[in-house]
């Protein structure tokens, strides 16, 4: 009987974790669409387009921490936080993770 409770608890925890992850991913996607897509969707001013593995490869070779830093602080023509000062560091990182997942 105890094993059944442990199994049920594990299933519930896994479902909650999956829902939280899905919600976080949806927030990251919404922030991408609102803030980042205008440049990273079209490759404006050299921004690596989401889905373009070749463009993202050299950036990711420097490590995700470097990509986070560039996204938070700005890099070349990209303004800090993609021009949205309301985005918190963790939100910017989540958007980077969303774009990288679609591009690597």
Which whole number is the average pLDDT over 86-92? 96
Q: Which structural domain, as residue segments, surrounds residue 66? A: 2-101
Residue 11 pLDDT exceeds 70: no
Q: What gap in Å lies between CA 44 and CA 46, rounded to an integer? A: 5
CATH number of the domain within which 86 lies: 1.10.760.10
3-state secondary structure of 69: helix
Q: What is the pLDDT of residue 18?
A: 41
Q: What is the pLDDT of residue 62?
A: 97
Question: How many domains are there within the chain?
Answer: 1
Q: What is the pLDDT of residue 10?
A: 44
Q: How confident is the model at residue 104 (pLDDT cuts 50, 70, 90)?
A: confident
Joined tokens for residue 88: 């918190």
Query: C-alpha distances in angstroms, 57 versus 15, 26, 61, 83, 99?
Result: 33, 24, 6, 24, 12
Residue 16 pLDDT exceeds 90: no
């Amino acid at each position: 009987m105890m094993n059944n409770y442990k199994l049920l608890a594990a299933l519930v925890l896994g479902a909650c974790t999956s829902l939280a992850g899905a919600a976080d991913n949806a927030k990251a996607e919404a922030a991408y669409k609102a803030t980042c897509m205008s440049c990273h969707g079209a490759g404006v001013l050299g921004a690596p387009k989401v889905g373009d593995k070749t463009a993202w490869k050299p950036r990711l070779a420097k490590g995700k921490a470097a990509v986070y830093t560039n996204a938070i602080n700005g890099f070349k023509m990209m303004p800090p936080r993609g021009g949205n000062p309301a985005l918190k560091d963790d939100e910017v990182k989540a958007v980077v993770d969303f774009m990288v997942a679609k591009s690597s």
